[in-house]
Every structure is written in C-alpha cells, then in structure tokens.
Structure 1
Amino acid sequence: MQLKQATMADFDQIIDILKDGANQLAERGVDQWQGDYPSLDQIKEDVENGWAYLAVSQDNQTVGAISLVPAPDHSYDQLDGEWLLDTEKYIVIHRVAIHSNHAGHGYATKLFTEVINQVRENPEIDSIRIDTHEDNKAMQHLIDKMGFKCVGTLHGVYRKGEISYVYEMIKPDTK
C-alpha cells in the first residue's frame, strides 16, 4: 500500500470514494456520513492543505482515500475522556474509505499499517488520534485491531445527538 498525496485533479475521485463509503455505511444501517459531512468544502480544504491522500494498491489501483490532519484538531476540544499522551504533536485520521469495488482484500488494514509506519519515522509526531461513530462496528474493529486504545467519547460534534468513540495510539517505537 502506498499513500499518494492528493491534488485538486484527484478531487472528483476522492468525492466518489467518500460517497461510496457513505453508501456502504447506510447499507449497514450506520448513520455516519449520512448528512452533510464530509462536505465538498471539507474535502477541498483537505486537498489544499496537503492532508488528503489516495490509497494506492501494489497493482497501482486507487482503492481508497484518507485525510491525515495535523494538530490541533478542535473536534476534540469537547472530549469526554483522557488522552494517553498530553501532546500537541499528533495527527488525526479522518475521512477514511475503501471503495466497495476493492472491499474484502485487506486494504483498510494495509492503509492503517502504512500510516502507522510513516508516523513511526516522523519525529514531529508523538501520537495518532481517530474517532468513529458509535454504530460503525467495522471501523471500531479495525481501530482496535491496529492497536489503538479507546480514550473517550464525543457528543454531538459532527451531528446533533451523535456519539463518536475516540481512540489514540502512542507512536510505535522506531525499529
């Protein structure tokens, strides 16, 4: 798996991947991403700031998208919980989706592994943070499998009445 930094030329492809992700969530009965999040403006901001990436498989297929947002992330200002590490040197994984055409091949695991490997090599980052909707069991399973620890909840940050579980991983040791 390779992460390719997205450009505005990739904008429509990112939108397609994220809309497909929203449809996958809806099919599983998960009410995440069913409103105006992620918005076109949010995706544009991700791309313009260099936070948006495409997930490219070994056979050079674009299989997914992800945003890696540097601190501070004010979505977490209302965290009901406690961070593993009190630091401003973190990144946040947001807006992750593997297109349904590429589901079932372990690409989400490979994508997270690549992010973790890149963080391991970056002296500017101490931890990785992520959150997901309380009903998104597939993402919760992936986050747990990758070694993140649940540190708390968010209430109504993305949509009124919505609960999100928040996770953190302290940067793995460099090997």
Structure 2
Amino acid sequence: MRRAQNSDLSEIKHIIDGARKYLKKQGIDQWQSGYPDEEIIKKDIDNSEGFVLIVDHHVAGYAAVIIGEDPAYRFIEEGAWLNASIEYAIIHRFALSESYRGQKLSQRFMTAILTYFNTLQINDFRIDTHPENISMRRVIKSNGFSKQGIIHVDEKQAINNLRWAYQLVLR
C-alpha cells in the first residue's frame, strides 16, 4: 500500500467504474449517481488522503482515508459512536479492481490501512456502507469493526443516502 499519485488517476477511475458496475449488477444503488467522480479522487490525491493497494506493480485497490470529523457522522440514528471524539480516521471510497476480486485482498488492504494509521497513533476508525453491500460489510466486520448505527450521506443525487455506520477503536 502507498499514497495515491496523480499518475494513478486513470487506474483508480477504472477501479471505481468497475465497482460502480459491480454494485449496479447486484441491484445496489450505491455510487450510481456518479459519486465518487474524478474531481473527488483528484482532491483525495492532492490532500494526500488517497491510498492504493499495489499487487505485482499494478494498482489493485483504492481508498480515501481522511483524518478529522466527517459532518455526515455527526448525527447517528439507532445507535451511538463508542466515543465522542472528533479526531478519527474515516475510510471512504474503498474499492478493489475487478481483476483482483475473490482473492481476499480487500481484507488485506483494510488491514494495511488500519495498521499504517495505527502506527501514526490514530486508533479510532469509522466507515459506512450501503445496507445491501454485503461484500463490503463482510470486509468491514472481518477487520473488527462493529455496527454503531445509521447515518445519511451526501452522494450527489443518491437515491438512497442511508448507510450503516461502523467503528473500530484500537487500544
């Protein structure tokens, strides 16, 4: 894993487009409104918040990791966060290339993210996903996250902006 670079942009876009098609094929409306788009990914890279998984010198996965407070996470329904911290790592736009699906690399990529940021003394991690995105829920749970409640996201004209919110606090 390494920070994403501008030269990775076309591969990242390809990964995101593949993930969008994969979700659509499953009947999940997540990412079907054009989110995340190239502008968002460029911003991730410019802010040093984009990360790529490298397999055999190829970009195999992408995720954005943002440190701070996510406005969408301020209001949580049907549950509560494990703490009141506003300084945490938010994992967004997590996607794996269709060329590498089925190899358990999503779990390894997530573990790499958690390990890297934990070495930087970040121990509070939050993530959300569409309730019907069973593959992502499996990755999240297999890395020790627990469901904390429901949030609502702003993904352009998302049909369904309800997301299940998860948290992991490493000690």
Is the pair's TM-score, using the shorter chain for normalization, greater than 0.5?
yes
Verify: 1:108 aligned to 2:94, yes or no: no
Offset, 1:62: 1.8
State the distance in 2 between where 1:92 and 1:20 align.
22
Aligned residues: 168
State the distance in 1 between where 2:57 and 2:153 align.
38
Over 6 Å off, 4+ runs:
none
| Overall identity of the aligned pairs, in % | 26
Offset, 1:73: 1.3
RMSD of aligned alpha carbons: 1.5
Q: TM-score, normalised by structure 2?
A: 0.91
CA contact (8 A) 2:19 2:98 kept: yes
Q: Aligned match of 1:22 in 20, 23, 42? A: 20
Gaps of 5+ in 2: none
Gaps of 5+ in 1: none
Report the 3-state secondary structure (helix = DSSP H, G, I; strand = E; otherwise coil) of the residue aligned with 2:10: helix
Identify the residue that residue 139 of structure 2 maps to in structure 1: 142
Report the 3-state secondary structure (helix = DSSP H, G, I; strand = E; otherwise coil) of the residue aligned with 1:68: strand
Identify the residue that residue 65 of structure 2 maps to in structure 1: 68
Verify: 1:164 aligned to 2:163, yes or no: yes
State the distance in 1 between where 2:42 and 2:68 align.
18
Q: Deviations over 1:2-52 (max 9, x none)?
A: x11112221111111111111111111111111121122211111110011
CA contact (8 A) 1:68 1:94 kept: yes
State the distance in 2 between where 1:111 and 1:134 align.
21
CA contact (8 A) 1:85 1:170 kept: no
Q: Aligned match of 2:119 in 118, 121, 133? A: 121
Q: Deviations over 1:92-140 (max 9, x none)?
A: 11001111111111110110111121122122x2301000011101111
